[in-house]
């Protein structure tokens, strides 16, 4: 297992622990900023950025899922959290499930949004294109592909045509240095064997209009994790942009119901 150096981490709020795990090609700021204030209102929120995202330097020796899961848990250690609920998005759902499998005594609950246990052929094809465009440095083409695959049809089509250029520039400007490394990790990750061992309260949130990570993946997670709750949001892969208030309410209501 490749060990990962300490992750740049922000800690906000007070109360029971919440440990955040962001998506590939994202960051804590990019994936959680709209809902962080609500999460921190009643919780200590520990928010680490993966290698190559935020202020965390890019990994020099690659990443493994075990190594990344352990590094995220180490961020909780650094903040003084003994136990916590993991809130994972996209790649972060793989990280969260693996962290729960490797550190079961630490994890009190799971919230898994737009997630998966292993990539299907459609996602593998998308990740191949991601990595090719990033390797070529074609961030404008990458931005258009992200817009096509990441956002729901209604949301994307609602962008005024005269603002499309700025929309693509915003996406291109937010691509972290570690995006290709993180995409490569999704390609080989598989937590299928971990799911039957999960016994903590779990909420699975499917993004129902997602064409990047099919909502069928979320249904599988909910089916394979005993007692998991299941909810859907009518968005593409990025609920934090399309329906942040609805996403936030699903999470905070779940935490409140289970005393997490």
Q: Which of 149, 181, 210, 217 is catalytic?
A: 210
DSSP string, the chain: ----PPPPEEEE--SSEEEEE--TT--HHHHHTTTHHHHHTSSEEEEEPPTTSTTSPPPSS---HHHHHHHHHHHHHHTT-SSEEEEEETHHHHHHHHHHHH-TTTEEEEEEES--SS--HHHHHHHHHHHHHHHTT-HHHHHHHHHHHHS-HHHHHTS-GGGHHHHHHHHHHT--TTHHHHHHHHHH---GGGGGG--S-EEEEEETT-SSS-HHHHHHHHHHSTT-EEEEESSSS-HHHH-HHHHHHHHHHHHHHTT-
Find the range with the poorest average confidence among 57-61, 82-86, 185-189, 207-211.
Answer: 57-61
Catalytic annotation present for 237: yes
The residues spanned by each domain of the chain are 9-121+177-257
Catalytic annotation present for 90: yes
Distance CA 93, CA 194 (A): 12
> Quick count: other Cβ atoms within 10 Å of Cβ 131?
17
CA distance readout (Å), 112 to 1, 201, 207, 230: 24, 11, 11, 10
| pLDDT for 2 beyond 70 | no
**Both tokens of residue 25?**
């090609």
Catalytic annotation present for 217: no
| pLDDT for 1 beyond 80 | no
* 143-160: burial string, b at 16+ Cβ within 10 Å, e else: bbbbbebbbbeebbeeee
Q: Which of 27, 64, 90, 149 is catalytic?
A: 90
- Please give the average per-residue pLDDT across 213-232, as a whole number: 98
**Both tokens of residue 111?**
């919230």
Q: What is the pLDDT of residues 131-176, one digit of tens each?
A: 999 999 999 999 999 999 999 999 999 999 999 999 999 999 999 9
Q: Report pLDDT for 101.
A: 98
9-121+177-257 to CATH, choices 3.40.640.10, 2.60.40.10, 3.40.50.1820, 3.30.2010.10: 3.40.50.1820
| pLDDT for 213 beyond 80 | yes
Q: What is the pLDDT of residues 59-88, one digit of tens each?
A: 888 899 999 999 999 999 999 999 999 999
Q: Report pLDDT for 62.
A: 81
| pLDDT for 10 beyond 90 | yes
Q: What is the pLDDT of residues 85-136, one digit of tens each?
A: 999 999 999 999 999 999 999 999 999 999 999 999 999 999 999 999 999 9
Q: What is the pLDDT of residues 224-255, one digit of tens each?
A: 999 999 999 999 999 999 999 999 999 999 99
* 94-125: burial string, b at 16+ Cβ within 10 Å, e else: bbbbbbbbebeebbbbbbbbbbbbbbeeebee
CA distance readout (Å), 27 to 1, 20, 74, 153: 23, 10, 17, 23
Q: pTM of the entire structure?
A: 0.97
CA distance readout (Å), 248 to 18, 33, 116, 205, 251: 14, 11, 20, 11, 5
């Amino acid at each position: 297992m490749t060990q990962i150096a300490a992750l740049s981490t922000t800690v906000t709020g007070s109360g029971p622990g919440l440990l955040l795990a962001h998506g590939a090609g994202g960051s804590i700021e990019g994936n959680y900023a709209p809902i962080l204030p609500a999460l921190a209102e009643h919780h200590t929120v520990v928010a680490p950025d993966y290698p190559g995202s935020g202020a965390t330097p890019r990994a020099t020796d690659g990443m493994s899922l075990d190594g990344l899961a352990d590094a995220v848990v180490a961020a909780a250690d650094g903040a003084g959290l003994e136990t916590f609920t993991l809130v994972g998005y996209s790649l972060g759902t793989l990280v969260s499930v693996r962290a729960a499998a490797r550190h079961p005594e630490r994890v009190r609950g799971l919230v898994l949004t737009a997630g998966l246990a292993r990539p299907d052929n459609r996602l593998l094809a998308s990740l191949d294109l991601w990595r090719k465009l990033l390797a070529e440095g074609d961030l404008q083409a990458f931005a258009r592909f992200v817009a096509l695959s990441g956002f729901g049809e209604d949301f994307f089509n609602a962008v005024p045509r005269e603002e499309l250029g700025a929309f693509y520039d915003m996406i291109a400007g937010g691509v972290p240095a570690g995006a290709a490394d993180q995409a490569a990790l999704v390609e080989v990750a598989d937590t299928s064997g971990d799911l039957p061992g999960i016994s903590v309260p779990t909420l699975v949130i499917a993004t129902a209009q997602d064409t990047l990570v099919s909502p069928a993946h979320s249904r599988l997670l909910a089916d394979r994790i005993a007692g998991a709750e299941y909810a859907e949001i009518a968005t593409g892969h990025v609920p934090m942009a399309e329906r942040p208030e609805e996403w936030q309410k699903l999470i905070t209501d779940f935490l409140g119901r289970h005393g997490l």
